[in-house]
């Protein structure tokens, strides 16, 4: 599946709400888990259309799965993609402001 064929509802999986990610709210940075095939351009377009904001930049990180063990059984957590979206000064995502 190519990233430009993804519907906007599938590009953003969920917002990442952690203490570290919420610290970026003051600078207009928001963190999302995104589809593994989504690229920066598709993520930017989706965020702008979904939340009616202007995106300055998008940084993407592939997060590797961590090894886990339960008794004799070993495995690892899933690999996923994270996007840090920086908004142009003055814009905010109101839907994520109440997460504090």
C-alpha of 99 from chain center: 15
Q: pTM value?
A: 0.86
Q: Are 93 and 87 in contact (CB under 8 A)?
A: yes
pLDDT digits (tens, 9 = 90+) for 29-77: 999 999 999 999 999 999 999 999 999 999 999 999 999 999 999 999 9
Pick the CATH number of 3-89 from 3.20.20.30, 3.30.70.330, 3.30.413.10, 3.40.50.11890: 3.30.70.330
- Degrees (nearest 5) of the Cα angle 12, 44, 5? 65
Please tell me whether residue 69 adopts helix, strand or coil conformation: strand
How many CB atoms are closer than 10 A to CB 55?
A: 20
pLDDT digits (tens, 9 = 90+) for 5-23: 788 889 999 999 999 998 8
- Domain positions in the chain: 3-89
pLDDT digits (tens, 9 = 90+) for 32-43: 999 999 999 999
């Amino acid at each position: 599946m190519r990233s430009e064929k993804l519907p906007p509802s599938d590009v953003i999986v969920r917002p990442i709400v952690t203490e570290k990610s919420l610290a970026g709210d003051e600078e207009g940075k928001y963190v999302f888990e995104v589809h593994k095939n989504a690229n920066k351009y598709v993520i930017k377009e989706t965020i702008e259309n979904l939340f009616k904001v202007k995106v300055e930049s998008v940084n993407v990180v592939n997060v590797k799965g961590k090894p886990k063990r339960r008794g004799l059984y070993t495995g690892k957590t899933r690999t996923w993609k994270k996007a840090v979206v920086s908004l142009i000064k003055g814009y905010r995502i109101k839907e994520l402001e109440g997460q504090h």
